[in-house]
Amino acid sequence: MNRLVKIAIGFSIIVVLSCRILHAQTNPIVVGVGGLAGNLIHPFVSKDAGFFQKYGVDARLVLFQGGTLLTQAAMSGDVKISIAAGTATIASRSQGADSIIVSCYMNTLDYSLVAAKGITHWQQLKGKRIAISRFGSSTDTAVRLVLEKLGMSPERDVLIVQIGAQPTRFQALVAGSVDATIIAPPFDVTAKRQGYPILVSMFEQGIAYPHGVIETTDRFVNENPQLIKNFLKGFIAGIQYGFTNKEGTKRVMAKYLNMTDPEILEATYQTYLQTTDRRTWPNLTGMRFAVEEVAKRVPSVKGKKAEEFINTKFLDELEREGFFKELNK
């Protein structure tokens, strides 16, 4: 084989490898988002501000009506990365799925328990209907959690009904179909304006909880580690943008949450600042609390440790590589 032939073969190999790398960087990846609310706006900020693209990720954001449906899509393989609450990951992994949390950008609950007009105290909820999105979702867990903290039994004292997404739940409250529901910003401000009492603000109680997580699967971690790492870079860079570019972030919120009222928009942005974890490491105390709560209704969770549901490999790598320091500059 002469020298020119060797050079030609070598060049061909380089071209093929380059094409494969380029394809891997630009191949669309389906990212499921478990609803549309202030606590789920983060991937939309990253996408609209161009940070996924900056790190070579073509993220196709797909909305789902709650974390339960999103978990089913993720288990089928249609969704590669999920943005939802950690409770769904805990339940699915305990039942044999290989779902895993790689980041947690919201380590506290930002929900509020809002009631129908005329109900001014949580004790009046006994015997009433409380709306959630779906059984097994974060809204389901949050309602049960707050009721127990108030000394009420979710099984005996109230009737929990699954209605659907946040706008649908609020409409059901307005129509009188339910007596209370659980909502996140910006609907809490809307509810107050319309005269619906907020009985409990979970954020003000400071409950540690994996309310906003980035989930994938062990298989996807093994097959596409660089893609996940790049996705996290884009996501975290979007959070940094959210903290440092108020007007740009509010434009994204207005666009996707369909908000035009300046007061509601400002309140939603302030909640974003108060509840978002800029470094996105999971809070182990919150994870343990979530495991205990899910174990009450999913027997396979009993005896599990919080560490079994998280993989901070990529966050650890970004820390060692100085990504966070560079981002803060």
Task: Clarify whether residues 7 and 71 are in a common domain.
Answer: yes
Confidence at residue 322, expressed as pLDDT on a 0 to 100 scale:
96
Cα–Cα distance list, 123 to 69, 150, 151, 156, 184 (Å): 32, 9, 9, 13, 22
φ/ψ (deg, to 5) at 155? -85, -35
Q: What is the DSSP string of 237-266?
A: HHHHHHHH-HHHHHHHHHHHHT---HHHHH
Percent of the chain residues topping a pLDDT of 90: 60
Percent of the chain residues topping a pLDDT of 70: 91
Task: Clarify whether residues 197 and 279 are in a common domain.
Answer: no
R_g of the chain computed on alpha carbons? 22
Task: Clarify whether residues 191 and 213 are in a common domain.
Answer: no
Task: Clarify whether residues 189 and 314 are in a common domain.
Answer: no
Q: Which residue has the higher pLDDT, 225 or 10?
A: 225
Residue-wise pLDDT tens digits, 210-224: 999 999 999 999 999
Domain boundary among 171, 201, 231: 201
Burial code (b: 16+ CB inside 10 Å, e: under 16) for 106-140 equals bbbbbbbbbbbeebeebeebeeebbbbbbebbbbb
How many other C-beta atoms can be found within 10 angstroms of the C-beta atom of residue 312? 17
Domain boundary among 161, 177, 201: 201
Peptide bond into 262 cis (omega under 30): no
Task: Clarify whether residues 101 and 229 are in a common domain.
Answer: yes
Task: Clarify whether residues 171 and 268 are in a common domain.
Answer: no
CB 213 within 8 A of CB 85: yes
Q: What is the spatial distance between Cα 272 and Cα 239, in angstroms, rounded to a whole number?
A: 10
Q: Please report the sign of the dihedral spanned by the C-alpha atoms of residue 182, residue 186, residue 189, residue 192.
A: negative
Is pLDDT of 193 > 80? yes
* Mean pLDDT within 159-178: 92
Token pair listed for 80: 């590669």
Confidence at residue 51, expressed as pLDDT on a 0 to 100 scale:
97
Is pLDDT of 4 > 50? no
Task: Clarify whether residues 143 and 270 are in a common domain.
Answer: no
Task: Clarify whether residues 253 and 164 are in a common domain.
Answer: no
Task: Clarify whether residues 102 and 119 are in a common domain.
Answer: no
How many other C-beta atoms can be found within 10 angstroms of the C-beta atom of residue 326? 9
Domain boundary among 201, 220, 240: 201
φ/ψ (deg, to 5) at 183? -135, 160
Token pair listed for 99: 């779902």
The DSSP output letter for 38 is G
Helix or strand holding residue 180 (H, E): strand 180-183
Tell me the one-letter amino acid at 138.
Answer: S
Residue numbers of the domain that contains 169: 112-201
CATH number at residue 250: 3.40.190.10
- Least confident window among 20-24, 145-149, 305-309: 20-24
CB 150 within 8 A of CB 122: yes
Helix or strand holding residue 8 (H, E): helix 3-26
Residue-wise pLDDT tens digits, 53-93: 999 999 999 988 766 678 777 777 789 999 988 888 999 99
Residue 245 burial by Cβ neighbours in a 10 Å radius (0-12, 13-18, 19+): middle
* Mean pLDDT within 159-177: 92
* Mean pLDDT within 243-271: 93
Token pair listed for 65: 């009506």
Burial code (b: 16+ CB inside 10 Å, e: under 16) for 252-271 equals bbbebbebeeeebbbbbbeb
Confidence at residue 68, expressed as pLDDT on a 0 to 100 scale:
66
Task: Clarify whether residues 213 and 194 are in a common domain.
Answer: no
Task: Clarify whether residues 7 and 97 are in a common domain.
Answer: yes
Q: Please report the sign of the dihedral spanned by the C-alpha atoms of residue 149, residue 153, residue 159, residue 160.
A: positive
Task: Clarify whether residues 119 and 101 are in a common domain.
Answer: no
Total domains in the fold of the chain: 2
Is pLDDT of 3 > 80? no
